Amino acid sequence: MFEQLFIPNPEAEKPAPLNPLKGVIIGAGQVGMACAYSLLIQDCFDELILQDLAQEKVEGEVMDLLSGMPFLPPTDLKAGTVADEGRNADLVIITAGAAQKPGESRLNLVERNVAIFKSILSDVVKYCPDAILLIVSNPVDIMTYVTLKISGFPSSRVIGSGTVLDTARFRTLLARKLDIDARSVHAYIVGEHGDSELPIWSTANVAGVKLAPKSWENLAAAEQKDLTAIFEQAKNAAYEIIKRKGYTAYGIGLAVTDIVKAILRSQERVLTVSSLVNGLYDIHDVCLGLPTVVNEKGILKTVNLTLSEGEEKQLRDSARVLGEVFAQLKL
């Protein structure tokens, strides 16, 4: 009956073949669905596949999202797997993993999540051999390293969400203190996405004006206390959110979308994603968050920040914490 709705133009040229952008999200829990929602409303993919072991749940999530498609730019959204609908995806986002419990450090999640990743990555490698892999599951630096080793992909195509969200939280808190837009604050949190991360006060600035004009050692005790309180609030934000509502989702969903846009649109953005570090700051064979240029190839290059002596030591300490865990992994 619908054939009579349109009158075809016999002289219309056949459209050129399209190369649609395809993404897969593995893991349709709170984080995975926050990522999916944010990616859809910001028009990131032409095709988006949601994969989860809970088949009925993920089908329900897709049905729910499809109800709102008339309000969004068109995206071909489906429930499926990398082995069927997700083959040859441009980008595979992994959010699957054991949930972080209240008071549990991210490093305590390692053993449970390594086993999950081993089962996931075999199909990803087989059916999406040219994809960029974006790891969101915690502990993200360790899972990025695990993915790198299991997949055999080049390090440029294995990216963790790193300290992108930590940096956003940090900038938001600083912006509120300064009463300005958070996008005008240029400050980084680097290292592990977790307890050993550190703020880079030596380069933090607004319009080129440093927030800490003196070296950390030369700041007054009261100034150090104020700055430390802001950093601690950013670092512990996830624990505080989990304590109140049981999980975090919206912030990381928006952070992942920012990373995805930088990749798919080749924006060459500087983002504190987690990737393999070999040699910089005398750190070797460790994945952690540093300001990194991201484009359609994945990791293009890492910014060589001029750190203070104390910051370099803290960064190496953070790398050591992660390295000790990496050394115990059975891959």
Q: Which of 102, 130, 160 is the last residue of a domain?
A: 160
Distance CA 41, CA 38 (A): 5
End-to-end CA distance of the chain: 57
Radius of gyration of the chain (CA): 21
| Residue 202 near residue 314, CB atoms below 8 Å | no
Question: What's this model's pTM, rounded to 2 decimal places?
Answer: 0.93
Q: Look up tokens 């999530």; give the residue.
A: 61
Q: Select from 305, 300, 298 the least CA-distant residue to 147.
A: 298
Q: 130 lies in which domain range?
A: 22-160
Q: Per-residue pLDDT tens for 283-299? A: 999 999 999 999 999 99
Q: Is the same domain home to 173 and 313?
A: yes
Identify the bridge partners of residue 185 per DSSP, sorted by sequence position.
206
Choice among 78, 169, 171, 193 that is catalytic = 193
Q: Is the same domain home to 69 and 28?
A: yes
330 CB contacts (<8 Å, ≥6 apart)?
Answer: 114
**Running DSSP on this structure, what letter comes out for residue 98?**
P
Name the 3-class secondary structure at 113: helix
Confidence of residue 104 (pLDDT cuts 50, 70, 90): low
For the chain, helix (H) and strand (E) counts, in that order, are 9, 16
Q: Is the same domain home to 202 and 85?
A: no
Please compute the mean of the pLDDT values over residues 213-223 and round it to a whole number: 88
Please say if the pLDDT value at position 106 is more than 60.
no
193 is annotated as an active-site residue: yes
Name the 3-class secondary structure at 151: helix
Q: Is the same domain home to 181 and 154?
A: no
Pick the more confident residue, 14 or 68. 68
Distance CA 6, CA 73 (A): 22
